[in-house]
Amino acid sequence: MKTPLRLILSLSGLAAGATAAASLSEAEFTRVINDVQVLPVEASPVPAKMGDRISGRTAVSTGAQSRAELRFPDKTLTRVGANSIFRMDASTKTVDLEKGVILLQVPKQLGGAKVRTAAVTAAVTGTTLLVEFTPDGFIKIIVIEGEVDVSLNERRSQFRTLVAGDLWITRADDKTGLPLPVQIDLGRLQKTSKLLNDGEFTPLGNEKQVQEALEGQARKKMDGELLNTSFQIEGRGRNVTLTQGGRQHVNGVGPGPIGRPPGRKAVPGQKKSEGAKVLATFPSKPINIPETTVFDDQSTINTFSLSNAYNSVAGGFVPLPGATYLPGQDGPFGDYMFDDPQAFSGIDALLSERASWFVLKGDELYISGDPSVESAGGPRNLLLGATGEFNFTATPPFAETGVVPGDHWTLDGNTDALMVASSSGSINFDSFKLTGTTQNVGFFADGPVSDVNITGRVPLALISLPGGSFEASAGQDVNVSGAIIESGNIKLSSRRDIRLGGHTAGPAKLAASGSVRLQAQQGVKITNSSQLLRLAQLDNPQVWIEAINGNLEVIEGSSVDADIVNMISQRGDVRLMSSTIAAREIKARVFDTGGTLLLSNAILGNGTNPSNLIRLYGEGAGGVRFVGDTTLRGDLVDIAGASVTIDPGSRVRLSNPAGTTVFSDAHQFNDGMNGNFTGLSDNEGEGGPVDVVKKPYSNRPGY
C-alpha cells in the first residue's frame, strides 16, 4: 500500500529540534559559539568553554547568535540553538526544553530517551530530530531520520508516530488531541539550518540514514505521493510564507496535467500523465492554508485540481491544495479534518450519504463573491473548513488589487452539496445571498463558544434552496435575524440557544415545504415578528421546536404557519405571547421536571378555520396559565396541567367549547375569582363564560 500523499513544505534556515540521550549522566561541550552559559542547580551561571563537562540537573542557556554542541559518553549528541534553555535529567533519561530549539541525535540500540516540553513528550530511539518551543507557546518537532513517538504529557496513552521528513506543530495549551504532521523538504532543511551546518559543526555521523530519508522523499515525488508546494517556513516559529514563484501566481494560471491520488479509483475516461509530469494534486488529508483566504468573483474551486483564491500570506491569488474525503474509508470527519475524533459528532451520518467530498481547509476563510465550481472529474460535493472564523460577506478584510468581491454565490449544476465547518470559530453570514436549487447546504460551527450567525440589514441575508435542504449547528448559539431561509427542509441546532429575530437586525423568516426543526440545549426564542411558514401555498410542512434546559418563546408578533406544529420545553417554560400559531394540529408541552405553559394575546388555530387538534400540556410545576386574552380555534382542545389557571381579567375564547376538555386537579377559572373560558363568535366572543369538560389530571390522554 502506498504511503498517504502529503504536500511538501519548504523550510528555510530552521534551527529547531529535539529529543534526549540514552545516557544523560554527563555531557562534554564539543562546540561553543558566542554566549553560552552553564546554569548549575542553586549556583550562579558560568560561561561555558570547549571541554567543560556538565552533569545531573545542570541547565545550559544560549544568547543571541549563539550555539553549542554537547556529546555524551554513549555518543548521544545535543546541539542548542540561539536564545535557548535546556536541562538534563539523568535519572529519567530526559531532556527538558524550557525555550528555544535543540537538535538531538540518539544512536540506535541505546535504550532510548525523551525530550519534554511544557505539554508534549517525544520518545526517541535511534533518531535525529529538532525540537522547538516558542515564547508564544507553540511546539514544533521535525524528524530528520528515524521515528519518534510524541504524546501529550496529560494523556500519555495517546500518541502519534512521526517519521523522517515529518513536521509536527501544536500549541502547549491544546489538550484536545494530536495534530497531523506534514512533510517538509529535508534537502532544503539540510542546506539552511544552522544546527545542521557542517561549517560550524562536525558531521553528525548519520549520513547514511539521512541519505536514505532523502532518497525516500525523492521516490515518493516520482510516484506522485509527495507534491512540492509554494509554502515555506523561514527560520523559527510557524509563520508560513510563499516562495517568489507562488507570489507571482495570478488568476488564470492553472496547474499542468494531473494524476489521481494514490489509493483512489480512477475516473472513467480520464487520462493519467506519465513519468515526471505526474502532479499528485490531493493529499489523503487536507493541508491547512495559512492565515486568511478570500474566495471572490475571480476565484475557482476545482475539485480535481488546484483551486484559486486570494491569500493574505501570499499577498495575491495563489493555487490552493485540497483533498478528497471518502466517508466510508477515511473515518469520522472530525478526526479526518481537524485531528479530533470527538469533534463534529453529529455530521458523520449526513456526510456518509454521499460517497466523496472535495475538502479544503484554512485558518480563516471568506466567501466574498461568486466563485466558480469546476467539478468535472472530481467530487460534486464541497466541504470547506476553517480552524477559525468562516465568513460570508461582500466586505472582505482586503481591498487589494485583483480582489473583486460580491454579495451573491449561486450554486449551479456543478455542485450537489455544500458543507461549511469551523472547529473553533464562528460561521458568519452577513447580508449575503446563497442561492441554488436542489443542493443540500450545512453550516457547522463546533467550538464551545462558536456561533452560527445569519444576519442582514440592507440587504437582507438570503439562503434559498427551494428543492434542497439547509442545516445549521453551533457549539454555542444559532442567531438568525434580518434574514430569509427558504428550503425544502430546515434544521437548526445549538448547544446553547437559538434566536430568530432581533430588534437590531429585524425579523427572521424560515420557509419550508417539508419540515422545520429547531433544537437547543438551552432556549429557543422567536421574536420581533419572525415567521416559520410554508414555502408555497400548497405545502404542508411540519414544525418541531424543542428547548432542552431553557424556555421556548414565540413572542412579539411572531407567527408559525404549518400543517403540524409541536413545541416542547423539557426543563423551562413554553411562552406563547402576542403570537399566532396556525396549523391543522398544534401541540405544546412542558415536562414534569418544572416550568409553566404560559399563553397571552395568542391565537391558535388553522388560520381562520379551526384546527383538528389543539393540545396544551403543562406538566411542570406551574401547570398551564393564561396570563392574557387567548383564542383557541380547535375542533378538539385538550388542556392538561396539575393546575390550569386563567388570570383575573383574562379570557380564553373557544371556537368549540363542547370539544374542550381540561384535565387538572386545580381548575382555576370560571369561578368568579379568576378569568373565564368564553365563546368565540363573529365579534370575538364578547359573551359570558362557557362550560368546558373538567376531568382529573391523571385522566389526561397521551400527548
Q: Quick check: is 223 in a domain?
A: no
* Section 138-149 average pLDDT: 89
- First-to-last CA distance in the chain? 57
Q: Quick check: is 407 in a domain?
A: no
Q: Quick check: is 308 in a domain?
A: yes
Instruction: Verify that 365 and 500 share a domain, yes or no.
Output: no
Range name among 88-92, 186-190, 294-298, 697-701 with the lowest pLDDT average: 88-92
Q: How many residues does the chain have?
A: 703
Instruction: Verify that 305 and 447 share a domain, yes or no.
Output: no
User: Are 554 and 582 within 8 A, CB to CB?
Assistant: no
Residue 215 has pLDDT above 70, yes or no: yes
| pLDDT at residue 151, rounded to an integer | 83
Q: Quick check: is 334 in a domain?
A: yes
Instruction: Verify that 541 and 580 share a domain, yes or no.
Output: no
What's the pLDDT band for 380 if we cut at 50, 70, 90? very high
Q: Please provide the DSSP assignment of 233-254 as one string.
A: EESSSS-EEE-HHHHT--TT--
**pLDDT, greater one: 429 or 260:** 429
Q: Quick check: is 234 in a domain?
A: no
Q: Quick check: is 230 in a domain?
A: no
Residues 294-309: pLDDT tens digits? 999 999 999 988 899 9
Instruction: Verify that 575 and 544 share a domain, yes or no.
Output: no
Q: Grid coordinates representing 107?
A: 544512536
Give the separation between CA 121 and CA 115, rounded to whole angstroms. Answer: 6
Instruction: Verify that 518 and 608 share a domain, yes or no.
Output: no
Amino acid at 563: D
Instruction: Verify that 31 and 99 share a domain, yes or no.
Output: yes
Instruction: Verify that 77 and 210 share a domain, yes or no.
Output: yes
Range name among 201-215, 237-251, 315-329, 371-385 with the lowest pLDDT average: 237-251
Q: Quick check: is 225 in a domain?
A: no
What's the pLDDT band for 587 if we cut at 50, 70, 90? very high
Per-range mean pLDDT, top range of 32-41, 59-68, 181-190, 484-493: 484-493
Residue 507 has pLDDT above 90, yes or no: yes
Range name among 391-400, 463-472, 596-605 with the lowest pLDDT average: 391-400
* Section 614-629 average pLDDT: 96
Instruction: Verify that 275 and 201 share a domain, yes or no.
Output: no
Q: Name residue, grid cell 537538535.
A: 103
| pLDDT at residue 470, rounded to an integer | 98
Give the separation between CA 102 and CA 78, rounded to whole angstroms. Answer: 7
Domain stops at, among 181, 216, 251: 216
| pLDDT at residue 135, rounded to an integer | 78
Instruction: Verify that 518 and 596 share a domain, yes or no.
Output: no
Instruction: Verify that 172 and 270 share a domain, yes or no.
Output: no
pLDDT more than 90, % of the chain? 57
Residues 687-696: pLDDT tens digits? 789 999 999 9
pLDDT more than 70, % of the chain? 84
Q: Quick check: is 233 in a domain?
A: no
Give the separation between CA 230 and CA 234, rounded to whole angstroms. Answer: 12
Q: Mean pLDDT across the chain, nearest whole number?
A: 85
The enclosing domain of 35 has a CATH number of 2.60.120.1440
* Section 339-346 average pLDDT: 85
| pLDDT at residue 635, rounded to an integer | 97
* Section 571-591 average pLDDT: 97
| pLDDT at residue 664, rounded to an integer | 97
Residue 359 has pLDDT above 90, yes or no: yes
Instruction: Verify that 571 and 684 share a domain, yes or no.
Output: yes
* 77, 81, 85, 87: CA torsion to nearest 10: 0
Instruction: Verify that 358 and 498 share a domain, yes or no.
Output: no
| Alpha helices (H) in 76-202, listed in sequence order | 186-192
Domain, as residue range, for 259:
239-380+387-399
Range name among 158-162, 471-475, 639-643 with the lowest pLDDT average: 158-162
Q: Name residue, grid cell 509527495.
A: 226
Those residues whose C-beta lies under 8 Å from the C-beta of residue 392, and which sit 6 or more positions away, are 366, 367, 368, 409, 427, 428, 429, 430, 432, 434
Number of domains in the chain: 4
* Section 26-55 average pLDDT: 91
Distance of CA 34 to the CA centre of its chain: 46
What's the pLDDT band for 235 if we cut at 50, 70, 90? low
User: Are 442 and 470 within 8 A, CB to CB?
Assistant: yes
Residue 154 has pLDDT above 90, yes or no: no
Per-range mean pLDDT, top range of 183-192, 227-236, 420-429: 420-429
Give the separation between CA 550 and CA 617, rounded to whole angstroms. Answer: 17
Residues 524-551: pLDDT tens digits? 999 999 999 999 999 999 999 999 999 9
Those residues whose C-beta lies under 8 Å from the C-beta of residue 76, and which sit 6 or more positions away, are 20, 21, 22, 23, 24, 104, 105, 106, 107, 110, 113
